[in-house]
Homo-oligomer: A and B are copies of this chain.
Amino acid sequence: DFIYSLENDVKPSLGTSDEALAKFIERGIINWGSTRELVEKGMMFVKQARSPETSNRLCLLLEGAPTAGTSAMAAYLAKNSDFPFIKVINSREMVGFMESSKCLRINKIFDDAYRSELSCIFMNDLEHLMGYSPIGPRYQSLVLDAMYSLLSASPPKGRKLLVICTSKRRSVLEELGLLSVFTAVIRVPYITHQEDIKLVLDESQALTPDEIDAIMDHICHGKVFVGLKKLLGLLDTMRVMKGVESRKRVASFVNLLEDEGVYTPEL
């Protein structure tokens, strides 16, 4: 798999937040249909961020519906940026923080980044970081303001900064006026092609080749639409059905796909 090898070439220098990033790529990167293009596009912006001829601030947004694999893809780019300073901004570490404590922590990370000539900051799930919730709607204004200030400020002279963010609600960021601070926005899609489903089933090793063929036969006359993470989750259920006979496993997986709205048979 070409992407894994690419990853293996890279030896991140000391000081990066390798472990934190690894948590976002729990299941590795499966190279299905859209993956190569996403990685290439992303790596081009990483290259642009490094280039001394360009603006010294580059903010990249990866956005996709829930379970699309957005966070893993973004973490993957950060990990492979080969930047000497990489930092992860993680809501898990700020549970129960007041708005201003959150701002201080995030601000601190940007200040630290400014000390390095080349630095990369990974902020997962911007809306969640600012406590966005659609009932109200609510969000933490101080955090939003901090993000806006930090993402739109140029680093000190001679420093280059790459910020990689993810979002599940592009339209919210747009409404909040945050979208315009990004140099580029990349969409992470759902799986919609049958062959991509097959590819993931193959790679997951949760089903035997025969089972996979049987499943593909069942679903070939309909539409599939699913986030990669969701699909991997459903395959986990198959893993615990080890002892069960093959035909049952196939049937129950097809059922699962229909129940969860992954697969819609054509009328």
Interface residues in chain A, defined as those with a beta carbon under 8 Å from any beta carbon in chain B: 23, 26-27, 44, 47-48, 51, 53-56, 66-67, 91-92, 94-100, 102-104, 106-107, 128, 131, 133-135, 137-142, 144-146, 148-150, 153-154, 168, 172, 175-177, 180, 183, 232-233, 236-237, 239-240
- By the criterion CB–CB under 8 Å, are A176 and B134 in contact? yes
- Residues in B with CB closer than 8 Å to A102 are 96
- By the criterion CB–CB under 8 Å, are B26 and A95 in contact? no
- By the criterion CB–CB under 8 Å, are A107 and B100 in contact? no
- By the criterion CB–CB under 8 Å, are B92 and A176 in contact? no
- By the criterion CB–CB under 8 Å, are B47 and A240 in contact? yes
Additional 8 contacts, C-beta under 8 A, given A51-B240, A133-B177, A183-B236: A44-B237, A51-B239, A92-B150, A96-B142, A128-B148, A133-B176, A138-B141, A168-B177
- Residues in B with CB closer than 8 Å to A139 are 133, 135
- By the criterion CB–CB under 8 Å, are A48 and B236 in contact? yes
- By the criterion CB–CB under 8 Å, are B154 and A128 in contact? no
- Residues in B with CB closer than 8 Å to A144 are 131, 133
Main secondary structure of the interface of A (DSSP, over half): helix
- Residues in B with CB closer than 8 Å to A48 are 236-237, 239-240
- By the criterion CB–CB under 8 Å, are A66 and B142 in contact? no
- Residues in B with CB closer than 8 Å to A44 are 237, 240
Q: For A94, give the chain B residue with the smallest CB separation.
A: B149
List 16 A–B pairs whose Cβ atoms lie within 8 Å, in order of A's numbering. Answer: A23-B153, A48-B237, A54-B240, A55-B233, A91-B148, A91-B149, A95-B103, A96-B146, A128-B148, A131-B141, A131-B142, A133-B177, A134-B175, A135-B137, A168-B177, A183-B233
- By the criterion CB–CB under 8 Å, are A149 and B240 in contact? no
- By the criterion CB–CB under 8 Å, are B135 and A55 in contact? no
- Least CB distance, A212 to chain B, in whole angstroms: 17
- Least CB distance, A178 to chain B, in whole angstroms: 9
- Residues in B with CB closer than 8 Å to A141 are 131, 133, 138, 140
- By the criterion CB–CB under 8 Å, are B67 and A146 in contact? no
CA distance in complex: A40, B240 (Å): 14
- By the criterion CB–CB under 8 Å, are B54 and A149 in contact? no
Residue among B67, B128, B148, B176 making CB contact with A145, cutoff 8 Å: B128
